Amino acid sequence: MPFYVYRCEGCGRELEVFQSINDRPLLQCSECGGTLKRLIFPPTVIFKGTGFYCTENRKGSPPKEEESGGKDSDSR
Protein backbone atom coordinates (compact mmCIF):
# COMPACT_ATOMS: atom_id res chain seq x y z
CA MET A 1 0.00 0.00 0.00
CA PRO A 2 1.33 3.46 -0.87
CA PHE A 3 1.75 6.57 1.23
CA TYR A 4 -0.27 9.59 0.15
CA VAL A 5 0.58 13.16 1.09
CA TYR A 6 -2.22 15.65 1.74
CA ARG A 7 -2.02 19.42 2.30
CA CYS A 8 -4.74 21.41 4.04
CA GLU A 9 -5.81 24.50 2.13
CA GLY A 10 -6.92 26.15 5.40
CA CYS A 11 -3.94 25.79 7.75
CA GLY A 12 -1.24 24.54 5.32
CA ARG A 13 -0.56 21.40 7.38
CA GLU A 14 0.83 18.40 5.46
CA LEU A 15 0.20 14.81 6.47
CA GLU A 16 1.27 11.42 5.15
CA VAL A 17 -1.34 8.68 5.14
CA PHE A 18 -0.77 4.98 4.47
CA GLN A 19 -3.81 4.03 2.37
CA SER A 20 -4.89 1.34 -0.02
CA ILE A 21 -5.21 2.44 -3.62
CA ASN A 22 -8.93 1.60 -3.37
CA ASP A 23 -9.56 3.81 -0.30
CA ARG A 24 -11.40 7.07 -0.79
CA PRO A 25 -9.18 10.16 -0.52
CA LEU A 26 -9.38 12.23 2.66
CA LEU A 27 -11.41 15.42 2.29
CA GLN A 28 -11.32 17.27 5.62
CA CYS A 29 -8.41 18.32 7.87
CA SER A 30 -8.67 16.91 11.39
CA GLU A 31 -7.02 20.04 12.88
CA CYS A 32 -8.95 22.97 11.37
CA GLY A 33 -11.70 21.35 9.28
CA GLY A 34 -10.28 22.81 6.04
CA THR A 35 -10.24 21.09 2.65
CA LEU A 36 -7.46 18.57 1.99
CA LYS A 37 -5.82 18.22 -1.42
CA ARG A 38 -3.76 15.16 -2.30
CA LEU A 39 -0.30 16.10 -3.58
CA ILE A 40 1.16 14.37 -6.61
CA PHE A 41 4.80 13.26 -6.62
CA PRO A 42 6.79 11.64 -9.45
CA PRO A 43 7.33 7.90 -9.08
CA THR A 44 10.65 6.52 -7.91
CA VAL A 45 12.59 4.95 -10.77
CA ILE A 46 15.42 2.48 -10.19
CA PHE A 47 17.57 1.53 -13.17
CA LYS A 48 19.02 -1.96 -12.94
CA GLY A 49 21.54 -3.57 -15.23
CA THR A 50 24.60 -2.32 -17.04
CA GLY A 51 25.05 0.89 -18.97
CA PHE A 52 23.35 3.35 -16.62
CA TYR A 53 26.37 4.80 -14.83
CA CYS A 54 29.33 6.74 -16.27
CA THR A 55 31.73 4.82 -13.98
CA GLU A 56 30.95 1.45 -15.54
CA ASN A 57 33.30 -0.15 -18.04
CA ARG A 58 32.14 0.41 -21.57
CA LYS A 59 32.94 -1.56 -24.68
CA GLY A 60 34.99 0.30 -27.24
CA SER A 61 38.33 2.05 -27.44
CA PRO A 62 40.06 3.03 -24.19
CA PRO A 63 40.85 6.70 -23.44
CA LYS A 64 43.95 8.19 -25.10
CA GLU A 65 46.04 8.02 -21.91
CA GLU A 66 45.62 4.25 -21.72
CA GLU A 67 46.42 3.75 -25.43
CA SER A 68 49.93 5.16 -25.05
CA GLY A 69 50.61 2.96 -22.04
CA GLY A 70 51.44 5.86 -19.75
CA LYS A 71 54.49 8.13 -19.72
CA ASP A 72 56.96 5.48 -18.49
CA SER A 73 56.39 3.10 -21.43
CA ASP A 74 58.38 5.28 -23.91
CA SER A 75 61.50 5.44 -21.69
CA ARG A 76 61.92 1.66 -21.33
Phi, psi of 66 (to 5 degrees): -75, -30
The whole model's pTM is what? 0.54
pLDDT at 43: 77
pLDDT at residue 17 above 70? Answer: yes
Assign 34 a pLDDT band (cuts: 50, 70, 90).
Answer: very high
Assign 3 a pLDDT band (cuts: 50, 70, 90).
Answer: confident
Assign 47 a pLDDT band (cuts: 50, 70, 90).
Answer: confident
User: Which of 21, 61, 73, 14 shows the shortest CA–CA distance to 39?
Assistant: 14
Sign, CA dihedral 14-17-23-29, equals negative
Average pLDDT over residues 23-45: 89
Domain annotation for the chain: domains and CATH numbers: 1-66 (2.20.28)
